[in-house]
Amino acid sequence: MNEQDKNIGGGNTEHVVEVRDLTKRFGTFTAVNSISFEVYKGEVFGLLGANGAGKTTLIRMLSGLLRPTEGVARVAGYDVVHHPERVKFSIGYMSQKFSLYEDLTVAENIRFFGGIYGMKKKDLAKAGEAMIHKLGMEEVEDRLIATLPLGWKQRIAFSIAILHRPGLVFLDEPTSGVDPVTRRQFWEMILETAREGFTIIVTTHYMDEAEYCDRIAIMSRGDIAGLDSPENLQSQFSVSSMEDLFWKITREHKTTDAIPGL
């Protein structure tokens, strides 16, 4: 990790995502509690938090999979409630549940998803070829996804998510369940993509991954308990590691929580 990798979005003030008082309630349970923030164009924006903190719910609302109960969210210039399909056209999405078709080959998955996004046949063939080349997977192009190791599958899933050049990509816990080396490789891929100008919003519960992000939002029980660059947050809360930062923020947040025992 060097300084060059960071500050990618630094200085760019164009908002790709704008969220105002966004709330999602499931019955009496509030999963996301009136949060507001912006994401700048070209930055790697991390959403951190324990399981159940509301990360996935938030990302699903932003990608048009879930209707917010209250509040406004504009993604890539479109309102997620009124124009969810336009939002979907402008984003890439990779879920925590690995979701390429296992019984199709790499090439068939590329053709299917590219086609669904309305890519022209010629463009799709070119983009697919470039993608395979970049991944160095020429030899497995015609193999079923099911036969590939998890780390490969994830890199393919990510590449397919950005195949239609969406400009904004949501990654929902993309690295859960893979070994540290593969995680590292995956992050290098994310950062490289960000350098190409993509904006990336990624959720994770690995604290060490926060350091790859330009800015992070730490979520706790549906709230954003802290939002800034990892360094600024560390000095603001006077801690020396992400681990400590996380502990401190979530614990402080808990004591001020109005609803105990939830």
Q: Is 25 in the site for another protein (CB under 8 A)?
A: no
Return the ∠ at Cα 38 (arms to 32 and 44), rounded to 5°.
100
Q: Is 65 in the site for another protein (CB under 8 A)?
A: yes
Chosen residue from 14, 101, 231, 243 binding another protein by CB under 8 A: 101
- Separation CA 32–CA 56 (nearest Å): 10
Q: How far is the CB of 202 from another protein (least distance, A)?
A: 15
- Separation CA 229–CA 215 (nearest Å): 4
Neighbours of 235 (CB within 10 A): 12
Residue in 20, 10, 62, 253 with CA at minimum distance from that of residue 172? 62
Report the residue number, 98 or 152, with the smaller CB distance to another protein: 98
What residues form DSSP beta bridges with 37? Answer: 19
Q: How far is the CB of 78 from another protein (least distance, A)?
A: 11
Stretch that binds another protein, among 3-11, 30-38, 106-114, 192-200 (CB under 8 A): 106-114
- Separation CA 35–CA 17 (nearest Å): 13
Q: How far is the CB of 242 from another protein (least distance, A)?
A: 29
Report the residue number, 186 or 246, with the smaller CB distance to another protein: 186
Chosen residue from 7, 99, 232, 235 binding another protein by CB under 8 A: 99
Chosen residue from 10, 77, 115, 180 binding another protein by CB under 8 A: 115
Chosen residue from 15, 86, 184, 205 binding another protein by CB under 8 A: 86
CA–CA distances in Å: residue 106 to residues 109, 152, 184, 191 = 5, 11, 23, 23
Q: Is 103 in the site for another protein (CB under 8 A)?
A: yes
For the chain, the straight-line distance linking the first and the last C-alpha, in angstroms and rounded, comes to 38
Where are the strands (E) in the chain, listed by range? 15-26, 29-40, 44-49, 70-75, 78-79, 91-94, 168-172, 199-204, 215-220, 223-228
Q: Is 102 in the site for another protein (CB under 8 A)?
A: yes
Stretch that binds another protein, among 47-55, 59-67, 70-78, 234-242 (CB under 8 A): 59-67
Neighbours of 246 (CB within 10 A): 24
Chosen residue from 37, 89, 152, 247 binding another protein by CB under 8 A: 89
Q: How far is the CB of 257 from another protein (least distance, A)?
A: 27
Report the residue number, 78 or 246, with the smaller CB distance to another protein: 78
Binding residues with another protein: total (CB under 8 A): 30
Q: Is 118 in the site for another protein (CB under 8 A)?
A: yes
Q: What are phi and psi of 92, to 5 degrees?
A: -110, 155
- Residue 180, classified by CB atoms within 10 Å of its CB into exposed (0-12), middle (13-18) or buried (19+), is exposed
**Which chain residues interact with another protein by CB under 8 A?**
60, 63-67, 84-86, 88-89, 91, 93, 95, 97-104, 108, 111-113, 115-118
